[in-house]
Structure 1
Amino acid sequence: MKQIPLIILALLLTGASWAQTFKLPPFQKFKLKNGLTVYLMEQHEVPLINVSAVFDAGAVQDGNRYGLGNMTAEALLFGSATYTKAQLEEKVEYVGASLDTYAGKETAKLTASFAVKDADLLFGIIQDVLTKPTFNQAEFDKYKQRQLLQLTQQKESPRNVINSYFNKFLFEGHPYANPITGTPTAVSAITAADARQFYQKNYTTDRAAIAIVGDFDTAAMKKRITDLFGSWKTAAATSPAISEPTVAFDKSRVLLVNKDDARETTFLIGGKGITQSNPDFIPVTVVNTILGGRFTSWLNDALRVNSGLTYGAGSRFSTLRKSGTFAISTFTKVSTTTEAIDMAVQVLDSLHRTGIDEKALTSAKNYVKADFPPRYESASELAGLLTDMFSLGFDESFINNFQKNVDGITVAKTRQIIDQYFPKNNLQFVLVGKADTIRDKVKKYGTITEKEIKADGF
């Protein structure tokens, strides 16, 4: 999963003028008879069309076949009823278009961008890929070998895999623990037939949406999309809705992942976070900006600027539909492992002890409004926004009222936010490093569970 859902990342990346003036451009939303939700938004600045399609087909639907959702999304482009994989790539590349598929924790997406003059070709390809994928066995097997190699290579960089360990540690027994890219054992057993079955079960029109943003006439595009997808027949979705996980701990715990050749210790400290739909998301973001959400944050000042223990430290809330996590993250030399962890915990404790004053709050609010407002300058970003609105269950008021909601945060509100959402007791620690060197030093943080980074899975 990307660490924060794409809508949140997009909301946190551009300038003050956008925060003050940006309103979501007008769009039309309607449903086809088969249940497929369609968004259409005209943007005539450049002669391009951008497409984003979303399905409830992420890693949470994998069961115990970890990686199946990710592999199925990739396999949509391995051939269709009309085109082989090579032909798809050649035709898309020849006209300078882009066509991609991928899966995250909860959803799978197809995205495309192309010139208006190539609309007939690309819409035909998109229809073919989404409605008639062939899941070619030979192409699937070649991809699976590459995926297995990538899983092995990922373990060489703790920063690439520590989030998967953290999710597994916090969400054990819940689908949110499923690693998006899978495990070697699980991936080895997945076949093209498995991907086809996953597609048939989860790529259903009643839980899907497609957004088209760009240089077109809405009435004409509505007819085009209806003609392309109106007769698409899928079974009704049968996968149950994901339940809220139990993320509550009665003691501090440590997961120590041994990497014998590690010269650094990479660690996350945290616990339960917030959901995507939490009404306090914006004030939580502002408070976290002070703690660890910008270069001049308390965590970065303490661990990088003032002590030189790391090249960077921060904190984040990763949000999902039914839950979320909070984590402080950094890395340090093996010899300074406990010094860095102690300092990170002290900074979190100081947030609870001293809270935030008016000066710090004003600075954070200005930062959020200047650097973290909606970033939807391009049609592709707007297309992604519309499908995120569908899959994450929010509407344009979240975008349009962003600045007003930031301005309304008070010092008293930050006190409530800190007490309610920033963990203080029973913290959860995940460390990747040289276990023999740090084991005895880190047992003071909680009950230790050990794993080998070379072991299968997380």
Structure 2
Amino acid sequence: MKNSIILLSSLFFTFTTMQAQNDRPQPKPGPSPTVNVGKPQKFTLPNGLKVMVVENHKLPRVSFNLSIDNAPFAEGAKKGVDDLTGALIGKGTKTISKEAFNEEVDFMGANINFSSNGGYASGLSKYAGRVLELLGQGALDPNFTQEELDKEKAILIEGIKSGEKSVQNVASRVENVLAFGKKHPSGEFLTEQSINNVTLNDVVQHYNTYFVPENAYLVVIGDVKFEEVKSKVENVFQTWTKASAPNLSYNNPKNVQYTQINFVDMPNAVQSNVSFVNTVSLKMTDKDFFAAILANQIFGGDFNSYLNMNLREKHGWTYGARSSIRGNKYVTKFTASAQVRNAVTDSSVVELLKELKRIRTEKVTDKVLKDVKAAYIGNFVMQIEKPETVARYALQTETQKLPADFYENYIKSINAVTVDEVMAAAKKYFMADNARIVVVGKGSEVVPALEKTKIPMFFFDKYGNQVEKPVTKKADAKVTVQTIVDNYINAIGGIKAVSEVKTVATLAKGSVQGQVLELSMKSSTKGALAVDMNLPAMGMNIMKQRINDKTAYVEQQGQKKVIEGEDYKLIKSQAHPFFELYFIDNPSVTFTGIEKINDVDAYVIKTTKSRLFYDMKTGLKIASENEQKQGEQTMKVMRYFGDYKEVKGVKYPFKINIEAGMPLEFVVSDVKVNEGVTDADFQ
């Protein structure tokens, strides 16, 4: 009762306070906040390195940002040499081992990292001198070794392989290839071959050619004194040999003559990636720069944008839809994108174009523009407090040739933008009549509906090469569920060997974000299943599933969900090492046709909530697709099976890839048949 009284009193107080506020005049908004970025003190070394120092004594910290502003360049057949060079810088120096270097950085509580175009270091100001020395030594005296090169190559190649099944990764690659061209610096992409083409000598030559001081800038921000820093910088960087990088030029890419859909077929895609893209030339010094930035914010730049409110909030087709544009002294691009369900891919394209027409032809309201300005300015003011932001602004002022007071007048420039200027910028930079709508998705489910939009459509492979429209193969009339199952059973060992299997125990290992995952699966022909996924380093079980004659449940993060009714019957029917044996004469199991899975033609069998794919040539099961509920959303989980090996006369997959938000690859270390399984395992 006491709590109720307190609650009612609070509500009454809140109501009367709000009423009183409504009854009296509202205060007028105060003046826009004053922005003081901090004017850097500058000097230039004889080798060309330009140094900017911003003293800030609020905290006993300092940061050093070394950036080399070279013109973009293409790497050709050795695409990856720049990435590999950046990865190897900082792996120790010719006088300090990698281990000793990292230990000293850790001891000071500092942070130092490098890239192919510079480096960054931060730490307590009392260690400023030594942090600067280590930054300089790491950048100017790198120790390139074959051992480290081989490690970094393996990491890059593994990243390429894991990304090949990602719709988003493929979409990003194709989008750049089509927008810029394969020979343009912004259109090139990594391949396993191009990475393997890179030698240690290539890395050394690349470093000597491009890691030079002519276009280099060092921005120092923090609790330091200019004269002291100047002396230390001169001492550390005076040995950097004066040189300039090649200043290559490329033809500016042209947009298409008319808006079109560029479709990439990924038969394994459980959703489509829709991207609207056109190239733009927008410099930060352009008169309409701020109008273009605000037009983008209104169209798709933040949560309340036209695009997100339509595709996410109104229709629930995506978790988020965004657009982006930025100022650059080189040609860049305007993009708008969303990941949507296959069934609404065509509708998403139509709605995207609808919102694009709206921002280009209808004036935004004064209130919307005012709100967008306020949110944008609020974010700008918060960011200005960060040293890395100050460093970026100081660097952009130099490299983009901005007026000295550009950022001091930033808020004023934003507030000066009118509704007419927003619409004019949208018309200029969001090219509704000369853009590509890049769609990456499952052709058999998406293409027929996209064709009904009457938008011209062309087809490309995963590397941006134009191809013919994907054609769905027709199966022979003799193909049935039974023939597919028979071929599968024969492929893995035959019905005699399969019938002798009573239990199967599988142990596999994978990794996620650097953490080792262990996957244990046990199944019985009695219709029982036990699955455990563990993080052994943390002693944590992250997923547990049990199915037996009485019950079924899934336990994740301490939450247990019991599976009952029809769902229990369904999952119970699949709790068998070879549940395909029960497909025959089951009316809910049907053969639906032929589809490609990772460029392999496969027969497709559909069950109540899953689809199974069997290689037409080998008969082996190569993939499965299952529907799973996550809140109000239904998502599809793909599993891929490969590297079949024989155990006691039956073949089992020793490689299992799972795609459910993020790719997981498990390598099977052990398969035990008719041993290591008891009834207690399924409880």
Please say if residues 253 and 447 of structure 1, whose CA atoms lie closer than 8 Å, have aligned partners that are also in contact. Answer: yes
Per the alignment, residue 115 of structure 1 pairs with: 124
> 2:51, 2:317 → 1: CA distance?
50
Per the alignment, residue 150 of structure 1 pairs with: 159
Which deviates more from structure 2 when the two are superposed, residues 148-157 or residues 438-447?
A: 438-447
Per the alignment, residue 397 of structure 2 pairs with: 389
Q: Structure 2 vs 1, CA of residues 265 and 44 (structure 1 numbering), >3 Å: closer, same or farther?
A: same
1:37 aligns with 2:43: no
> Bigger radius of gyration, 1 or 2?
2
> 2:409, 2:47 → 1: CA distance?
33
* Misfit runs of 4+, over 6 Å: 16-19
Residue identity opposite 2:458 in structure 1: I
> 1:273, 1:109 → 2: CA distance?
27
Please say if residues 61 and 69 of structure 1, whose CA atoms lie closer than 8 Å, have aligned partners that are also in contact. Answer: no
Q: Structure 2 vs 1, CA of residues 362 and 349 (structure 1 numbering), >3 Å: closer, same or farther?
A: same
1:36-91 deviation per Cα after TM superposition (whole angstroms, max 9, x unaligned): 11111111122212010111458634244222222211211123121122222222
What RMSD in Å do the two structures reach over aligned CA positions?
A: 2.4
Gaps of 5+ in 1: 1-15
TM-score with structure 1 setting the length:
0.88
Please say if residues 242 and 322 of structure 1, whose CA atoms lie closer than 8 Å, have aligned partners that are also in contact. Answer: no
Which deviates more from structure 2 when the two are superposed, residues 288-297 or residues 87-96?
A: 87-96
1:421-454 deviation per Cα after TM superposition (whole angstroms, max 9, x unaligned): 2212132011221123223333443241321377
* Deviation (angstroms), 1:21: 1.9
Residue identity opposite 2:234 in structure 1: T
1:67 aligns with 2:77: no
User: Counterparts in 2 of 1:121-200, with a 5 A limit?
Assistant: 121-172=130-181, 173-179=183-189, 182-200=190-208
Q: Helix, strand or coil for the counterpart of 1:255? A: strand
1:120-168 deviation per Cα after TM superposition (whole angstroms, max 9, x unaligned): 3322211211211121211111111011101222234333453332121
* Deviation (angstroms), 1:218: 0.4
Gaps of 5+ in 2: 1-28, 464-597, 600-683
Per the alignment, residue 202 of structure 1 pairs with: 210
Residue identity opposite 2:159 in structure 1: Q
Match of 1:84 among 61, 85, 97: 97
> 2:265, 2:326 → 1: CA distance?
25
1:158-193 deviation per Cα after TM superposition (whole angstroms, max 9, x unaligned): 3345333212110013222124xx222211221222
> 2:37, 2:350 → 1: CA distance?
44
1:420 aligns with 2:433: no
Per the alignment, residue 12 of structure 1 pairs with: none
User: Counterparts in 2 of 1:431-442, with a 5 A limit?
Assistant: 431-442=439-450
* Deviation (angstroms), 1:244: 5.5
- The structure with more helix, counted as a fraction of residues: 1
Per the alignment, residue 407 of structure 1 pairs with: 415
Q: Helix, strand or coil for the counterpart of 2:73? A: helix
Q: Helix, strand or coil for the counterpart of 1:201? A: helix
Per the alignment, residue 292 of structure 1 pairs with: 300
* Deviation (angstroms), 1:313: 1.1
Q: Helix, strand or coil for the counterpart of 1:177? A: coil
Match of 1:212 among 217, 220, 226: 220
> 2:406, 2:44 → 1: CA distance?
22
Q: How many residues align?
A: 433
Per the alignment, residue 536 of structure 2 pairs with: none
TM-score with structure 2 setting the length:
0.60
1:272 aligns with 2:279: yes
Which deviates more from structure 2 when the two are superposed, residues 442-451 or residues 330-339?
A: 442-451
1:312-331 deviation per Cα after TM superposition (whole angstroms, max 9, x unaligned): 11211144322121111101
Residue identity opposite 2:459 in structure 1: T
Q: Helix, strand or coil for the counterpart of 1:20? A: coil
1:371-400 deviation per Cα after TM superposition (whole angstroms, max 9, x unaligned): 344713133332343334334443542211
Q: Helix, strand or coil for the counterpart of 2:268? A: coil
> 2:276, 2:449 → 1: CA distance?
16
Q: Helix, strand or coil for the counterpart of 1:314? A: strand
> 2:78, 2:32 → 1: CA distance?
43
> 2:423, 2:227 → 1: CA distance?
50
